[in-house]
């Protein structure tokens, strides 16, 4: 089945101490870290397409454009949703958003590229 626009993936996280800005060294406050929120959005993007990739294929991150709009406390649940907006050859452009019980906490775009995993790993620099 080909990758088509409109595919949706979701990922949920119960925010723990290891997910905070303090733990990730991306800030000095004990709330959900921006890098962790971006990772959750990328997880949702991967989930949207993983079952449709051919054997030996995967996606890798290429670009993230993201606004972190509100803090989420430890113990809260946050859900990310990714919708495949455009397919440009091997490039997949997703619109992403994340919400907690208080509403929208982040939104943006994630671009991932379909690669042959073995070939991609051979190109990794040591």
Distance CA 98, CA 87 (A): 22
**β partners of residue 11:** 80
pTM for the whole thing?
0.95
DSSP E strand boundaries for 2-74: 8-14, 57-68
Q: pLDDT value at position 7?
A: 97
Query: 31-60, pLDDT tens digit by residue?
Result: 999 999 999 999 999 999 999 999 999 999
Domain ranges of the chain: 8-122
Give the CATH superfamily of 8-122.
Hotdog Thioesterase (3.10.129.10)
Q: What is the mean pLDDT of the chain?
A: 97
């Amino acid at each position: 089945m080909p990758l088509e626009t409109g595919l949706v993936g979701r990922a949920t996280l119960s925010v723990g101490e290891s997910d905070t800005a303090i733990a990730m060294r991306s800030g000095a406050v004990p709330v959900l870290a921006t890098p962790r929120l971006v990772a959750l959005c990328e997880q949702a993007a991967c989930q949207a397409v993983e079952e449709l990739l051919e054997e030996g294929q995967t996606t890798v991150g290429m670009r993230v454009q993201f606004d972190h709009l509100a803090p989420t406390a430890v113990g809260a649940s946050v859900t990310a949703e990714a919708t495949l907006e455009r397919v440009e050859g091997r490039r997949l452009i997703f619109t992403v958003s994340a919400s907690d019980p208080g509403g929208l906490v982040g939104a943006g775009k994630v671009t991932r590229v379909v690669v042959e995993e073995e070939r991609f790993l051979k190109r990794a620099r040591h």
